[in-house]
Amino acid sequence: MTTPLVEMDGDEMTRILWQAIKEKLLLPFVDLKCEYYDLGLPYRNETDDAVTVAAAEAIKKYGVGVKCATITPNAQRVEEYKLKKMWKSPNGTIRAVLDGTVFRAPVVVNGIRPVVSTWKKPITLARHAYGDVYKNSELYVNGAAKAELCVTYPDGKVEKKDIHNFDGAGVIMGMHNTDASITAFAHACFQYALSIKQDLWFSSKDTISKTYDHRFKDIFADLYETQYKEAFEAAGIEYFYTLIDDAVARVVRSEGGFIWACKNYDGDVMSDMVATAFGSLAMMTSVLVSPDGKYEYEAAHGTVTRHYYKHLKGEATSTNSVATIFAWSGALRKRGELDNLPDLVAFADKLEKATIDTIESGVMTGDLYALSTLENKTKVGSLEFLDAIAEKLA
Ligand code: NAP
Ligand code: MG
């Protein structure tokens, strides 16, 4: 390795897996060069969360990071960890610094059949993570009333539009998005499609929302035509826009193998649908891509608290490390591509293959054991699973 990978450690069961993955699957095979940031809750608390910002800045500087799952504190965690305050979600902090878009994709293996039988390849979901209903203003209208949209410009110019003349009680909502955020989202989607060489689909409801959703459609179309068309054609991939209803129908009939970009709410709902239909949360990987092409890889699941408490009591655990392993392989592959290190790219491929081969040979953790249709399958513990992968890898 030539450029360091930004390594962000985390909490609970995934912190234990993190250490074991490094010991068993990485250090024996790779001359790892990492810049280490401890995002475990105790150290975030000790540094007043400065470590999280420092890690995000390091990703900006070097371009690629890999992150372990971390606790987002709530009132109970403040008590449990004796925190100075209820620190914000590290993922939120990192996303704010990088202004990125999250892409989630399942790891597909034989024996774990997607509920949708036509799906043969992963579907990657890209969710716009700003605005719309998540930053709305809502009112309960308490009886007959006239509701209007009103925009006031700095020069005093006012634009108004009727929403509804209420005869009786009801509800209204105002929401927004910005050209800057939609543009950043579109760049991240086009960049990521080029990076993994898959088609990009974008869907919205522009037939009904002729100004709001149409703005998204126009920004995507404009960027594609002016900045990405040639590169897409050279890579042999396609961009296409379709109505969200049509997209849903096409996705279900497809065999997968593309990126589906969604507005914030659509992405929230559809990513849970796609993840569930593919089988297991523990097999979902996630990568944050900034509009200027910085990458942060992680597992989509949390710190698996319930398993950690069992582990602390000395009980055996069978926690699935696949998504965390794929976070590492994704980050190492990207580092290898950027630094022109074919051996590192090849190692990432081999690590993924050894992981998939292990599961397909029948050795798996409890969550997959419950789902797998393989006839000869064995349930193994958290660390035994890593040992089995290490053996295949060697
Ligand atoms: P979680 O850690 O994803 O776990 C929820 C349940 O899903 C587990 O109890 C387990 O089910 C199953 N599961 C998830 N990952 C698994 C794996 N790798 N192997 C086997 N089973 C797995 O979500 P949570 O319990 O809601 O959250 C725990 C902590 O994680 C919270 O403090 C939250 O803030 C944090 N979190 C962090 C991130 C992140 O850093 N990106 C994301 C989400 C949540 P069973 O117990 O039935 O076996
Ligand atoms: Mg959701």
Which residue's alpha carbon is at the smallest distance from atom 38 of ligand 1? 302
Ligand 1 atom 12 nearest Cα: 304
One DSSP character per residue, 97-128 reads: HHT-EEEEEEPP-TTS--SSTT--S-EEEEE-
Nearest to 7 by CA among 92, 91, 67: 67
Among 9, 15, 66, residue whose Cα is nearest residue 321: 15
DSSP string over 293-362 = S-EEEEESS---HHHHHHHHTT-------HHHHHHHHHHHHHHHHHHT-HHHHHHHHHHHHHHHHHHHTT
26 secondary structure, DSSP code: I
- pLDDT, tens digit, 9 for 90 and up, residues 298-319: 998 999 999 999 999 999 999 9
Q: Which amino acid is at 360?
A: E
Q: Counting Cβ atoms within 10 Å, is residue 85 exposed (0-12), middle (13-18) or buried (19+)?
A: exposed
pLDDT at 152: 97
What is the pLDDT at residue 182? Answer: 96
All domains in the chain, ordered by first residue = 1-112+284-394 (3.40.718.10), 113-132+176-278 (3.90.190), 137-174 (no CATH)
- What is the predicted pLDDT for the residue at 268? 84
For ligand 1, atom 44, name the residue with the nearest CA.
Answer: 302
Per-residue pLDDT band at 130 (split at 50, 70, 90): confident
Nearest CA to ligand 1 atom 46: 306
pLDDT for the residue 278 = 86
Ligand 1 atom with minimal separation from the 301 CA? 3
34-63: buried (b, 16+ CB within 10 Å) or exposed (e) per residue? bbebbbbbeebbeeebebbbebbebbbebb
Return the pLDDT at 291.
Answer: 82
Pocket test for ligand 1, best of 303, 309, 368 (most atoms within 8 A of CB): 303
Residue 90 alpha carbon, nearest atom of ligand 1 = 40
Query: Could you tell me the end-to-end alpha-carbon distance of the chain, in angstroms, rounded to an integer?
Result: 20
Distance from the alpha carbon of residue 305 to the mean position of ligand 1, in angstroms? 6
For 204-229, b/e burial (b = at least 16 CB within 10 A) is bbbeeeeebbebbbebbeebbeeebe
Q: Whose CA is closest to atom 30 on ligand 1? A: 302
Name the residue with tokens 């608390």. Answer: 45
What pLDDT shows up at residue 260? 97
Query: Which ligand sits closest to the CA of 318?
Result: 1
Q: Which ligand is nearest to the CA of 267?
A: 2
Closest Cα to atom 8 of ligand 1: 304
For residue 97, with 0-12 CB atoms within 10 Å meaning exposed, 13-18 middle and 19 or more buried, which class applies?
A: middle
Task: Write down the mean pLDDT value for the chain.
Answer: 95
- Joined tokens for residue 253: 């009939």
Q: Rounded distance, CA 216 to CA 274, Å?
A: 23
Cα–Cα distance measured from residue 291 to residue 295, given in angstroms and rounded to the nearest whole number: 10
CB-based pocket (< 6 A), ligand 1:
69-72, 91, 281-282, 298, 301-306, 319-320, 367
Report the separation in Å between the CA atom of 352 and the middle of ligand 1, taken as the mean of its atom positions.
22
Distance in Å, CA 169 to ligand 1 centroid: 41
pLDDT for residue 214 is more than 90: yes
Q: What is the pLDDT of residue 98?
A: 86
Q: Cα(67) to centroid of ligand 1, in Å? A: 15
3-class SS at 21?
helix
Helix residue ranges, H only, the chain: 12-21, 41-46, 50-62, 75-80, 90-98, 179-196, 212-223, 229-235, 244-253, 264-278, 305-312, 322-339, 342-360, 366-369, 382-393
Per-residue model confidence (pLDDT) at position 90: 94
Kindly list the distances between the CA atom of residue 45 and the CA atoms of 12, 37, 113, in Å, as whole numbers in the listed order: 15, 13, 42
- Strands 64-67 and 101-106 turn out to be unpaired
Burial of 338: CB neighbours in 10 Å, binned 0-12, 13-18, 19+: middle
Average pLDDT over residues 349-363: 98
| Closest to 42 measured CA to CA, from 106, 87, 95 | 87
Please state, in angstroms and rounded to a whole number, the distance separating the CA atoms of residues 210 and 164: 18
Mean pLDDT of 194-206: 96
Which residues, 6+ apart, have CB-to-CB distance to 171 below 8 Å?
138, 139, 140, 141
> pLDDT tens digits, residue range 255-303?
999 999 999 999 988 988 888 888 788 899 999 988 888 999 999 899 9
Tell the residue nearest (CA) to atom 36 of ligand 1: 302
Q: What is the pLDDT of residues 160-177, one digit of tens each?
A: 999 999 999 999 999 999
Check if the beta carbon of residue 160 is closer than 8 Å to that of residue 150.
yes
The whole-number pLDDT of residue 272 equals 81
Q: How far is the CA of 78 from the centre of ligand 1 (A)?
A: 18
* Whole-number Cα distances in Å, 226 to 145, 189, 218, 237: 46, 15, 12, 16
Express each pLDDT in 26-68 by its tens digit.
999 999 999 999 999 999 999 999 999 999 999 999 999 999 9
Which residues neighbour 22 within 8 Å (Cβ) at sequence distance 6 or greater?
32
Measured by CA distance, the residue closest to atom 23 of ligand 1 is: 302
Q: Which of 281, 286, 311 for a ligand 1 pocket mutation test, highest count of atoms within 8 Å of Cβ?
A: 281
- Determine the average pLDDT of the residues in 321-332: 98
- Per-residue pLDDT band for 230 (boundaries 50, 70, 90) equals very high
**Residues paired with residue 289 on neighbouring β-strands, in sequence order:** 101, 295
